[in-house]
Structure formats: C-alpha cells, structure tokens
Structure 1
C-alpha cells in the first residue's frame, strides 16, 4: 500500500530544500520515465498505474515498483496530466567537467527559468553536446519543471554546478582554449570560424553574460538581427549558436 508517509516524502521532492536533503528528485510522465530506465540514474522508487506497469513490465523487473491509483498518482505529480508514472531518483554527484580535445562544452551563466534550462538541455542533446556547466546561480537541474522540459534529454547530459569565476580561472590556467560568448554588437556569428573545441557561454535571460564571466571570453559573437525584435529567448539563441557550430564543423 502507498502510505501517507511515502506520499509526503514524494511531494517534498518538489521543493529544492528537500531534494538537497534527500539527494533525490522526481521524474514524471511515461516518456521521461522510460528514458530514465535506460540511463545510469539510480531509481529509488517507481510509482505507476497498473496500465503503465502492464505495458512495460519487462523493463520494470529490476526496479522497486509501487502500483497506485490514478488519483494517488495525481496527488504526487507536478504535471497537470499524468496517467502513467512518477519516479523517485537519486541525484548523480556534482563531478567537475572540462572540454576534452575537439569537444565543446556549453556553459550557462545565471539561467533562472526552469523551462529555459530544460529546453537548453534538450537542444544540447539534439546537437550532440554532452557536457553543460552551470553557474551556481543557475536554476536547479533537478527542478521538476527542468526535468519535464528536457523531455528525457537530462538522462544524456552531464552537468556541473560551480562558481564560474573560479571555474574559468582553472580552465585558463590549466588548458587555455577558446571561450565563446554571445553579446550585442560583436562579431557576426554567421561569419565566425569555430575552432575544433572549447566553451560556448550563454547568459542570463535579462542581462546576458555577467561582467565577472565576460573577462574570460576570448571571442564575442552576435546573432545578426534582420527585423525589429529587441531580443531572443536564450533557448532559441542557444539553438542558433549550436546549429552554426555544427554546420561549420
């Protein structure tokens, strides 16, 4: 039986404080849960409807599963509509990441909106970026809205949260390399010649890349504007930069 204590625990993971305390987070919905099962994340508990269990029984053999009613599932889920499953998952350790030879790492400076972060993870996954470094002020990777917006891509992306000033000081000292950042009135992205590897920095939704991080940027690029819009959503801007990168590689 699904106890009130279990329900309280699962619901608590919607809040960052308790996610950090328990080192656990939620993955919700059929698509994300099925991709989760094929990943290296450790599933602590899977709550699902009998229909989801019957449809995926072979995949669920090695997982602790609790079949619950649709009503109980809705009480534990943050999604407006979830008729399949919610997984309680152990967080992966926050392991340092750097660009390997001929590899690009995406760096996010103070991204605040969970939907934007989830979308950026999905975009990075689409373009084959495996590593995303986040400032310690960037929204929590394990926020349920981030996980949902990533549409399963969170299972294929490594993330590392760190103070970016200290991070780039170490990177510059140890390996140097190209650090590309998006700014207004800089070099035209369409004409920029990407190196074999390095770092691509995307900034805050309202203020862009902060001054502390700007000092480490070796190449400033601009997405050329042809119309009258003042700005681009950071997710869309990330997609444009990565598309240009991959087409030129």
Structure 2
C-alpha cells in the first residue's frame, strides 16, 4: 500500500527542483521501465498493479492497486506500473561525430522525440542550453520510449561551447542553404532552435553554416515546421551517405 509520504515524494518529482533535491525521476509503462532496467540507470523502486518484473528484489518492488497508481501517474490513462530511478552523474561531452545542440527548447514532447530520433539515427550526444526543458521531466522520459538510456544529454552554456569547438557548426533557418543541395560532413554540431523564436541571436552569431528545409508547396504559406519534424529531416540528410 502506498503511504502518504511516498505519494508526496513521487508527485513532487513532476517539478525539476524536487527531482534535483531527491536526485530521482520516474518513468511509466513496462517498455520504458524495462529499457531503464536493462541500462546503467539505478533502480530505486517499482510500483506496479501486477508482477511484470520478475527478479526485482522484494525491497524495491511494491504491488499497488490501479486507484493508487492513478494518484501518482501523470498519464491521462495510467499504465500498469511506475518506477523511480536515480538521476546519474552527467557524462562529459565528447566532441566527435554528429552532435545535436538544442537552443532553449521548451516542449517536453519535442525534446523526448528528438532524443528518440537521435537514438534512431545513431547520434549519441545532445547538448542542451541551460534553459532547455529538463530531460528527466516525466513527459520527456515518456516520449523517449527508452532512448534516454542510449543518448547522452548534457546541459551547458551553448555560446561558450560553440565558440570553442573545433567541429563545424550548422544552424537551421528559414533562409539558409537548402539541406538537399549542401555537402554535409560526417562530424559537426547541428543547432536546433526554440519552438517559437528559433535560434537565439547570440548563438546565431557563432553559426558557420545556415541550413534550411525548402518548402515545395505551390502556395508556400506554411510558416515553419515543428522542431522535432525538422530535426528528423535534417538528421536523415546528414546520415544519408554514411
């Protein structure tokens, strides 16, 4: 049975300051939890309405009712399980290969989708500005569908890093060079901007190459693409000749 204190702690983890205070985050659903269990993330506790995780030590597993799960879930329709994991120490950035940099992304679904896209295209590192939504936000974790275990996400000052890097830096803009007509390297940093405002002016000054995804519609009245959709298209082009 869930105690009031357990409910209080778990629900508080919806906020970044409490995730940082307790050094914990939570994930929901068998697939996401199993991915985390199979990784280097340290399990704190599993709360489940059925025993779907054989082999978990008794002290780290609690059988709860669907009504109790609903009290701690952030999903409109709760799954069958929720698990707490320790937030690991941040790994250093390795300046090699293709890296995605996110400049002030605010939507959890977009970040989660981009983590999953990077996993799909073999991009192992994402660099986030300090204003970007927290990767351990429950909605981000859910949207990654387990890819959070295979992509290193680091938060740092983008301006300093992009100024000092030896890798070529690419930014995405409406008026950039067509992604389909640009010779793309195997290594570099791809900067994706904020959902509403794009890449910030300070970061824009650092970019060496401006890329765009051209519009092909007859009217060409679509204002812009969703940032996760744009990331998928651009990563596909970077990887096309690998």
TM-score bin, normalised by smaller chain: over 0.9
In the alignment, the residues of structure 2 paired with residue 195 and residue 16 of structure 1 have an alpha-carbon distance, to the nearest angstrom, of 36
TM-score when normalising by structure 2: 0.94
Residues 90-142 of structure 1, C-alpha deviations (whole Å, 9 max, x = no match): 11222331322xx1111000101111111111111111111000000101111
Q: What runs of 5+ residues in structure 2 fail to find an aligned partner?
A: none
Partner Cα distance (1:238, 1:119) in 2 = 10
Higher mean C-alpha deviation, range 134-143 or range 5-14 = 5-14
Q: Does the 8 Å CA contact 1:48/1:84 hold for their aligned counterparts?
A: yes
Q: Distance in 1 between matches of 2:115 and 2:107?
A: 13
1:117 aligns with 2:111: yes
Give unpaired runs (5+ residues) of structure 1: none
1:11-22 aligned at under 5 Å gives the runs 11-22=11-22
Deviation at 1:63, TM superposition (A): 7.3
Equivalent residue number for residue 241 of structure 2? 248
Please give the alpha-carbon distance, in whole angstroms, between the structure 1 residues aligned to 2:176 and 2:141.
33
Name the counterpart of 2:198: 208
What residue number does 2:180 align with? 190
SS in 2 for 1:57: coil
Shift of 1:61: 4.5
Q: Which residue of 2 aligns with 1:96?
A: 92
Distance 2:224 2:124 in 1: 27
Q: Distance in 2 between matches of 1:162 and 1:84?
A: 36
**How far apart in 2 are the matches of 1:242 and 1:212?**
24
State the 1:248 CA deviation.
Answer: 2.4
Taking structure 1 as the reference length, what is the TM-score of the superposition? Answer: 0.91
Are 2:103 and 2:194, in contact at CA under 8 Å, matched by a contact in 1? yes
Give the aligned partner of residue 102 of structure 2. 108
User: May I ask how many residue pairs the two structures share in their alignment?
Assistant: 239
Residues 1:62 and 1:167: Cα distance change in structure 2 (over 3 Å): farther
Give the structure with the larger helix fraction. 1
CA distance in 1, matches of 2:57, 2:238: 42
Instruction: Please provide the CA RMSD for this pair.
Output: 1.5
Q: Are the counterparts in 2 of residues 111 and 205 from structure 1 also a CA contact under 8 Å? A: yes
Tell whether 2:171 aligns with 1:181.
yes
Residue 30 (1) aligns with residue 30 (2)? yes
- Aligned-pair distance for 1:18? 0.7
Runs (4+) of structure 1 moved beyond 4 Å? none
Alpha carbons 2:28, 2:79 under 8 Å: kept: no
- Distance in 1 (alpha carbons) for counterparts of 2:119 and 2:153: 12
Aligned to 1:83: 79
